[in-house]
């Protein structure tokens, strides 16, 4: 915990600083060839975000094209079952089925503004790939999505959707053939093509300005929730954390308030003690991954370790640098949920509310169910980051259905 948190002072929230740092985290640790492009991107984004016309067009597209505002749903049946008043922020109802579209639309608009002809992206669960393919189709840009082979198998519906939308899906076989490896390949492409291509990173990770930009495009989740609450107090806000974009989008507008507890739920996979998990904050340590200093899973020599989670979107050995800062500053706390518990979360929400959540989002549901005794009588806002259609094969196989 930092000195500021220990003394109860409100830590500085105007982040990142001019070097792209969130306290000790973040920064721009990138190959030489990318540095000018990253610096130009930071300047272009700052200019666009200060342009009221750009911001108005972004909000207009979010409203008319992606269906915002997403509802804030009082989950009365889940509340009865858990003894906690639960509100759900329904990002699963956004166009393409997850929060990822907010960021993809924003970055595609920026790519158009800066004259880029081609978009590339990495994807794990396929939701960011689908969101990018969608934004590319809408803006008329070429689109290539890198995806680990393991994820291509477990998220085949989303692979078909990306192809339908005109994107090329490039399988990645290196490493564990999951999200980390897809990010590596996308970065390699970008080094070669940076003059003509914009890389839409799908989470609040990577070198500056990506964590900042993604947070700003995703903060609509938290800003909208504040408006929809109309002054009703909330005690706890919960979101799953892969790279951390849905969580930071929800948390950021609430951060630093002492009346709300922010809880990020990482993937405990087969259990933290087994070493096969995705709990980068819970069981990792600071290092440099994908261009930023942050918490990551690494061995004693600093070699990145493979993550594991049943949910492809949480199967990542790092986390966005702003979450690393939040964790150290005591602005949020980070817990973890196993694969088994997440599957129970899917079952619980489906049965009580008639909503089948994405496996990623089910981690947040499962944590509330698991901690129900402590949360009794409190109001909990869960960010339901996405819907479960993409996971149906796996869910059905585990549940012995179909
Ligand atoms: C529905 C859903 N929720 C959460 C995530 C995790 O990403 P993030 O931590 O960036 O929100 C993903 C990633 O693919 C996702 O598809």
* Token pair 């069981």 in the structure block, residue: 283
Residue 178 Cβ contacting ligand 1 at under 6 Å:
no
Tokens found for residue 312 = 């492809």
Tell me the pairing of strands 21-22 and 25-26: antiparallel
- Measured from the Cα of 244, ligand 1's closest atom is 9
Q: Judging by beta carbons within 10 Å of its beta carbon (0-12, 13-18, 19+), is residue 303 exposed, middle or buried? A: exposed
Residue 90 Cβ contacting ligand 1 at under 6 Å:
no
Q: Give catalytic residue positions.
A: 100, 122, 385
Phi and psi angles of residue 366, each rounded to the nearest 5 degrees, phi first: -65, -35
Phi and psi angles of residue 295, each rounded to the nearest 5 degrees, phi first: -75, 135
Pocket test for ligand 1, best of 360, 361, 384, 394 (most atoms within 8 A of CB): 360
Is-contact 233 379, C-beta < 8 A?
yes
Residue 134 Cβ contacting ligand 1 at under 6 Å:
no
Handedness of CA 364, 369, 370, 375 (dihedral sign): positive
Residue 158 Cβ contacting ligand 1 at under 6 Å:
no
235 vs 375: CA distance, rounded Å: 9
Taking only the tens place, the pLDDT of each residue in 311-350 is: 999 999 999 999 999 999 999 999 999 999 999 999 999 9
Q: What is the pLDDT of residue 13?
A: 53
- What are the structural domains of the chain? 30-62+100-214 (3.40.50.1100), 69-98+219-399 (3.40.50.1100)
Q: Is the peptide bond between 202 and the residue preceding it cis, with omega within 30 degrees of 0?
A: no
Of 369, 305, 299, nearest to 340 (Cα)?
A: 369
Q: What is the pLDDT of residue 27?
A: 98
- Measured from the Cα of 245, ligand 1's closest atom is 10
- Measured from the Cα of 92, ligand 1's closest atom is 1
Which residue stretches of the chain have pLDDT < 70? Answer: 1-13
Q: Which residues does residue 122 pair with via DSSP β-bridges, in sequence order? A: 146
Name the closest-CA residue to atom 4, ligand 1. Answer: 360
Residue 127 Cβ contacting ligand 1 at under 6 Å:
yes
- Measured from the Cα of 241, ligand 1's closest atom is 9
Tell me the pairing of strands 85-90 and 72-74: antiparallel
Q: What is the pLDDT of residue 388?
A: 98
Pocket test for ligand 1, best of 240, 267, 322 (most atoms within 8 A of CB): 240
Residue 388 Cβ contacting ligand 1 at under 6 Å:
no
Name the closest-CA residue to atom 1, ligand 1. Answer: 386
Residue 98 Cβ contacting ligand 1 at under 6 Å:
yes
pTM of the model: 0.96
| Distance between Cα 7 and ligand 1 center (Å) | 34
Taking only the tens place, the pLDDT of each residue in 156-208 is: 999 999 999 999 999 999 999 999 999 999 999 999 999 999 999 999 999 99
Of 122, 158, 139, 140, nearest to 58 (Cα)?
A: 139
């Amino acid at each position: 915990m930092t000195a500021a948190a220990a003394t109860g002072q409100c830590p500085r929230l105007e982040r990142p600083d001019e070097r792209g740092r969130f306290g000790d985290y973040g920064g721009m640790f990138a190959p030489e060839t990318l540095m000018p492009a990253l610096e130009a991107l930071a300047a272009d984004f700052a200019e666009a975000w200060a342009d009221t016309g750009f911001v108005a067009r972004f909000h207009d597209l979010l409203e008319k094209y992606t269906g915002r505002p997403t509802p804030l749903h009082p989950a009365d049946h889940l509340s009865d079952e858990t003894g906690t008043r639960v509100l759900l922020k329904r990002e699963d109802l956004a166009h393409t089925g997850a929060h990822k579209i907010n960021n993809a639309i924003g970055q595609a608009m920026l790519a158009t503004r800066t004259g880029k002809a081609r978009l590339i992206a990495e994807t794990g669960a396929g939701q960011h790939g689908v969101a990018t393919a969608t934004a590319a189709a809408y803006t008329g840009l070429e689109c290539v999505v890198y995806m680990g082979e393991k994820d291509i198998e477990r998220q085949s519906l989303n692979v078909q959707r990306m192809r339908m939308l005109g994107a090329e899906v490039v399988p990645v076989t290196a490493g564990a053939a999951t999200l980390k490896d897809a990010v590596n390949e996308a970065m390699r492409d970008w080094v070669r093509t940076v003059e003509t291509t914009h890389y839409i990173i799908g989470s609040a990770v990577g070198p500056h300005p990506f964590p900042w930009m993604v947070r700003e495009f995703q903060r609509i989740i938290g800003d909208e929730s504040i408006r929809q609450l109309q002054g009703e107090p909330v005690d706890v806000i919960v979101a799953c954390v892969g790279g951390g974009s849905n969580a930071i989008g929800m948390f950021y507008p609430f951060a630093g308030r002492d009346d709300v507890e922010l809880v990020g739920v990482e993937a405990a996979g087969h259990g933290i003690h087994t070493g096969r998990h995705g709990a980068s904050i819970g069981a990792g340590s600071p290092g440099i991954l994908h261009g930023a200093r942050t918490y990551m899973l690494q061995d004693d020599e600093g070699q990145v370790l493979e993550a594991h989670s049943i949910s492809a979107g949480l199967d990542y050995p790092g986390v966005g640098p702003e979450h690393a800062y939040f964790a150290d500053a005591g602005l949020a706390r980070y817990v973890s949920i196993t694969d088994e518990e997440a599957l129970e979360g899917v079952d619980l929400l489906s049965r009580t509310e008639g909503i089948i959540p994405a496996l990623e989002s089910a981690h947040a549901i499962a944590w509330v169910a698991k901690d129900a005794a402590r949360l009794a009588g409190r109001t909990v806002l869960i960010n339901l980051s996405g819907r479960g259609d993409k996971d149906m094969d796996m869910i059905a196989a585990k549940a012995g259905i179909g």
